[in-house]
């Protein structure tokens, strides 16, 4: 993509990665992503806001063709998809200084070998004049690393927010035009990246909202020229109570656990509880993470393998424990051959959520009528807890 006009003084000079399908060797990217970098020209100084992933450095450098001088490079976040090409920019513009939070200053030296002499630490609320434009730095720690910040272009009321309010979405739209598609991508991004730090996200969301931005320009995905769209979505994801919903994730080896999943799904539906159900074989883990944003209860189904949970169930439980979400209740069901500690192992992985454990249901081999009745009782317990909590 060639440089694109954001406003009178701001130009998008980043890269769109249409074909990338995995991030951090972990996170699925069904819609690719973009690495947004912005050039801000004041009457006296020029600033590059964020750089791109090293894999797309050539696109950034091509978009800077004809730019004779860059005075500052703002690093909002040390991670390579935002700062990886900074060394290339500094090599081309030897007069440029990197502006970052005090904590980021050390991290940039550690991760990218940027000489400390070329890094200037900026305080929360500090401003830098570009002549007829002013940039103000707003520290937003733990969104989603400890050193992150945002930058506010005061005269244009434009907030550059890096990962905050972003989405992994490759598109030709510079601004958000397809709101349903962008919302889904942003929710996936929030679930996978931001949700473990939801308390900090809520605090820093208020700091950004207090700026009353007219435009929010993240470093992934389209720019939000209607900020209320993304701010309202974040308020829902961060602050709203969970829904009357169960996230049911299971894996079955010989059919027994699938029979139990079918019975529990039907029992919950009959009691007015919605179910987001995932067979962990070949599942898109991003969709599991998105369901975790809303689910009041998480139930994992697993057969017993060598005395413990199936590896896919282990992975799912670890994901739930790491991302946390809003779930208030947890449980486990499954089948065993002769014994094991599947329940204890899975419970340990999700212990950080501090949710109440609903008694598990384990069948020996094929589930018997007593096992199926126990699943009905689990559904009764879940429905009653959701009702008592006033969930909808």
What SS3 class is residue 163? coil
Q: 261-318, pLDDT tens digit by residue?
A: 999 999 999 999 999 999 999 999 999 999 999 999 999 999 988 888 999 999 999 8
Is 182 a residue whose pLDDT tops 80?
Answer: yes
Q: What is the mean pLDDT of the chain?
A: 95
* Per-residue model confidence (pLDDT) at position 338: 67
Tell me the C-alpha distance between 302 and 314, whole Å: 9
Residue 24 pLDDT level (bands cut at 50, 70, 90): confident
The share of the chain scoring above pLDDT 70, in percent, equals 99
Look up the pTM and report it.
0.94
Burial category of 270 from C-beta neighbours within 10 Å (exposed 0-12, middle 13-18, buried 19 and up): exposed
Tell me the C-alpha distance between 240 and 237, whole Å: 6
Is 159 a residue whose pLDDT tops 80?
Answer: yes
242: Cβ contacts below 8 Å, ≥ 6 apart: 294, 295, 296, 325, 326, 327, 328, 391
Is 256 a residue whose pLDDT tops 70?
Answer: yes
Is 342 a residue whose pLDDT tops 80?
Answer: no
Residue 344 pLDDT level (bands cut at 50, 70, 90): confident
Give the burial string for 130-146 (b: 16+ CB within 10 Å, else e).
beebebbbbbbbbbbbe
> What is the number of residues in the chain?
392
Cα 226 to Cα 5, 180, 220, distances in angstroms: 17, 14, 16
* Per-residue model confidence (pLDDT) at position 275: 98
- List, in order of start, the domains of the chain with CATH numbers: 4-239 (3.60.15.10), 244-388 (3.40.50.360)
135: Cβ contacts below 8 Å, ≥ 6 apart: 40, 47, 74, 127, 128, 151, 152, 153, 154
* Per-residue model confidence (pLDDT) at position 23: 86
Between vectors from CA 269 to CA 391 and to CA 256, what angle results, nearest 5°?
A: 125
* Per-residue model confidence (pLDDT) at position 337: 73
Tell me the C-alpha distance between 207 and 230, whole Å: 15
DSSP, res 118: G
* Dihedral sign computed on CA atoms, order 219, 192, 83, 150: positive
């Amino acid at each position: 993509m060639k440089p694109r006009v954001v406003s009178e003084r701001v130009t998008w000079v980043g890269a769109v990665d249409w074909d990338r399908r995995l991030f951090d060797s972990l996170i699925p990217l069904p819609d690719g992503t973009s690495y947004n970098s912005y050039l801000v020209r004041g009457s006296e100084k020029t600033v590059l806001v964020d750089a791109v992933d090293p894999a797309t450095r050539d696109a950034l450098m091509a978009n800077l063709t004809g730019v004779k001088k860059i005075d500052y490079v703002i690093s909002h976040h040390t991670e390579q998809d935002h700062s990886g090409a900074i060394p290339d920019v500094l090599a081309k513009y030897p007069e440029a200084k990197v502006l970052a939070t005090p904590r980021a200053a050390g991290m940039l030296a550690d991760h990218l070998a940027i000489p400390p002499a070329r890094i200037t630490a900026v305080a929360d609320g500090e401003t830098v004049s570009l002549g007829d434009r002013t940039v103000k730095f707003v520290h937003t720690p733990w969104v989603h690393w400890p050193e992150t910040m945002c930058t506010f272009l005061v005269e244009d009321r434009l907030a550059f927010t890096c990962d905050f309010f972003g989405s992994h979405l490759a598109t030709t739209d510079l601004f958000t035009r397809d709101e349903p598609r962008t919302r889904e991508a942003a929710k996936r991004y929030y679930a996978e990246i931001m949700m473990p730090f939801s308390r900090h996200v809520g605090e820093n969301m208020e700091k950004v909202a207090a700026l009353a931005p007219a435009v929010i320009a993240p470093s992934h995905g389209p720019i939000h020229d209607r900020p209320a769209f993304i701010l309202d979505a974040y308020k829902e994801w961060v602050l709203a109570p969970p829904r009357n919903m169960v996230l049911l994730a299971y894996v079955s080896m010989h059919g027994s656990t699938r029979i139990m999943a079918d019975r529990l799904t039907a029992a919950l539906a009959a009691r007015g509880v919605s179910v987001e159900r995932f067979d962990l074989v070949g599942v898109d883990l991003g969709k599991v993470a998105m369901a975790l944003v809303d689910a009041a209860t998480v139930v994992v189904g697993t057969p017993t393998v060598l005395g413990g949970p199936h590896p896919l169930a282990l992975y799912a439980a670890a994901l739930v424990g790491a991302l946390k979400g809003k779930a208030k209740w947890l449980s486990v069901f499954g089948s065993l051959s002769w014994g094991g500690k599947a329940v204890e192992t899975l419970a340990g992985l999700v212990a950080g959520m501090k949710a109440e454990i609903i008694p598990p249901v384990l069948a020996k081999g094929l589930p018997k009528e007593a096992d199926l009745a126990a699943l009905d009782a689990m559904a009764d317990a879940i429905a009653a807890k959701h009702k008592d909590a006033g969930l909808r």
